[in-house]
Amino acid sequence: MAAQVVATRDGLDSTSRLHYEHRDIVEFCREWVAIAEISAHVGLHLGVTRVLVADLIALNFLTTRGLHLPEDRQRQIIERVIRGLTAIR
Amino acid sequence: MDSLPFADAAPDQGRPPVPVKIVIAGGFGVGKTTAVSQISEVPVLTTEAPITEVAAAFDRAEEVPSKTTTTVALDFGRITIDDEIKLYLFGTPGQDRFGFMWRDLTEGALGALVIVDARRLDDCYPAVDYFERTGIPFGVAVNLFDGLLTHDLDDVRWALAISDDTPLITFDARDRGSVLDALLVVLRRSLTMPRRAGPPTDVTGS
Ligand SMILES: Nc1nc2c(ncn2[C@@H]2O[C@H](COP(=O)(O)OP(=O)(O)OP(=O)(O)O)[C@@H](O)[C@H]2O)c(=O)[nH]1
Ligand SMILES: [Mg+2]
């Protein structure tokens, strides 16, 4: 759900051929965005968004990266988030 | 979706930021949307619907008289930590019937904050129970709606069956600093708590 997707070159080149939600999604994904962000932006239920995004990935119009991090990296990231939040506190 | 092969991204999008997330859960009307709104750097993307349009799956609305909308999808907020890390905040729907979304939502989360309305403890039990069972690091924040705690925190811990290791604090969902403090409590818990994802922990302590 926080997994991020971004439009591929193929996807961006094809927006004129896409319709409705597919087009809205690809156009919204010019930068890396989280699937939940797309859901809110396009105004679709999260489950629906996931299905549409999966279809667009299968078409090679979007590409994805998950958010599973190795353990030691995870620790280091949590520490950075703690520092970051403390700084804006 | 994670199992799908990576394709080449269009060249100009750069390295993806590292997405991390914290889930904000809790019962109906406990202040989840309020809390996410206080700290998100982008306007919170939320799907609210008039309460009357939401099926009569809950009849709690009369207990929160001034409330006319409820979150039917989820709140989405974001805080940029540095040039690489983006922290996403997901406020999850209050009604029990959206509980099925929690598994997806909590996957890969650094931790969760469960917000409790001290006046309606029962509403918050499903969320506490869920996180206790799944082993996701979490903290519980009691939202002090009237500015005073009508229960002792120990009573709250007992009533909601919150384990001794789980941090339990009071906070004000309308106060930015207070919400940030609550997230910090969750993150510190996340650092110290043994992870399920690793090799199974010997809970008997040898
Ligand atoms: N007095 C007081 N009111 C609060 C506080 N936090 C939230 N509220 C109010 O309580 C109501 C419910 O808050 P929301 O943030 O909508 O709650 P929610 O958890 O997002 O609710 P759902 O999404 O419907 O489950 C709103 O009218 C808020 O303005 C608080 O700390 N004190
Ligand atoms: Mg809400």
The structural domains of chain B, ordered by start, are 17-192 (3.40.50.300)
pLDDT at B100 over 80: no
A14 in reach of chain B (CB within 8 A): no
Measured by CA distance, the residue closest to atom 29 of ligand 1 is: B34
User: What number is the ipTM of this complex?
Assistant: 0.74
Ligand 1 in reach of B94 Cβ (< 6 A): yes
CA angle (B86 as vertex; B189, B100 as ends), nearest 5: 65
Residues with CB under 5 A from ligand 2 (ion): B 32-33, 71
Residue-wise pLDDT for A17-27, tens only, equals 988 889 999 99
Whether residue A36 and residue B74 make contact (CB cut-off 8 A), yes or no, is: yes
Residue B31 φ/ψ region, left for φ over 0, alpha for ψ in the -120 to 50 degree band, beta for the rest: left
| Closest residue, chain B, to A77 (C-alpha) | B85
Tell me how far apart the alpha carbons of residues B30 and B51 are, in angstroms, rounded to a whole number.
Answer: 15
Highest mean pLDDT among A58-67, B51-60, B87-96, B132-141: B132-141
Q: Which segments of chain B are extended strands (E)?
A: 18-26, 48-50, 69-71, 75-80, 85-91, 111-117, 138-143, 168-171
pLDDT at A67 over 70: no
Distance B148 CA to ligand 2 centre (A): 22
Ligand 1 in reach of B54 Cβ (< 6 A): no
Tell me how far apart the alpha carbons of residues B51 and B61 are, in angstroms, rounded to a whole number.
Answer: 8
Within 26-55 of A, beta carbons closer than 8 Å to B belong to: 30-32, 34-37, 39-41, 43, 45-46, 50, 53-54
pTM of the model: 0.72
pLDDT at B170 over 90: yes
